[in-house]
Amino acid sequence: MSTPEALGLLSLVQWLSPAFPTGAFAYSHGLEQAVAEGDVRDAPALADWLADILAHGAGWNDAVLLACALRGEDLAPLAGLARALAGSAERLHETEAQGAAFTRAQAEMTGSPLAPLPLPLAVARAARGLALPAGQVIALFQHSFASNLVSAGVRFIPLGQSAGQAVLAGLHPMIAALAARAAAATRADLASAAFRAELQAAAHETLDVRIFKT
């Protein structure tokens, strides 16, 4: 017999899979600009770039916001924080557009329309009803985020599929550790120091030829 935990895990995996219609494949989080300028040229550079974003950039802040929301904090002020933490217009568009798409897909599945939220908070709102530990939700959210950026790197650097999967697998220990730390974090732990990633995300707004929206 299926347990609530097993069913909850399957639901979360579905929501965070590439097949779920958030349009995540269209966003590179500034990686396209970093590749165009030569900051990221190969698999080791991609691994370093993603590790910094996860530990010190938007990846960490999204994890903290997700944790706060999973604990039942008011979503409205958290949404304001999420928007304020977006370092550029494209970053803001990325989290809001994906969050709105996630919410629409959820509404179509459940028949219960809800107001859109930035992506980590939209996921947290849906995951509040799952019988899953916060650390597990955060880890899978961060893995989905990293997986999307690895896919962008595979297409644009370009890398072979095997090299991309090796990069993602190499990030697993970091993702697990960050998720465990973020699960106990509060708003006071919000911080970002991935300055090069933020600058490249802003510069992407004027990149002449673009494959990705951000």
Residue 214 counted as domain residue: no
Residue 90 counted as domain residue: yes
How many beta carbons lie within 10 A of that of residue 87, not counting itself? 19
Asked if 212 and 152 touch (Cβ cutoff 8 Å), the reply is: yes
Per the structure, the count of domains in the chain is 1
pTM value is 0.96
Residue 211 counted as domain residue: no
CATH code for the domain of 156: 1.10.4190.10
Query: Taking the chain (214 residues) in consecutive chunks of 10 residues, what is each chunk's mean pLDDT?
Result: 86 94 92 93 97 96 98 97 93 96 93 93 96 96 97 94 97 98 97 90 88 90
Residues 6+ apart with CB under 8 A from 132: 5, 8, 9, 12
Residue 130 counted as domain residue: yes
* pLDDT attached to residue 2: 79
Residue 213 counted as domain residue: no
Residues 6+ apart with CB under 8 A from 152: 25, 27, 28, 29, 31, 32, 212
Which residue segment(s) compose the domain that 180 sits in? Answer: 4-17+24-206
Residue 154 counted as domain residue: yes
pLDDT digits (tens, 9 = 90+) for 73-101: 999 999 999 999 998 999 999 999 999 99
Residue 69 counted as domain residue: yes
Asked if 175 and 138 touch (Cβ cutoff 8 Å), the reply is: no
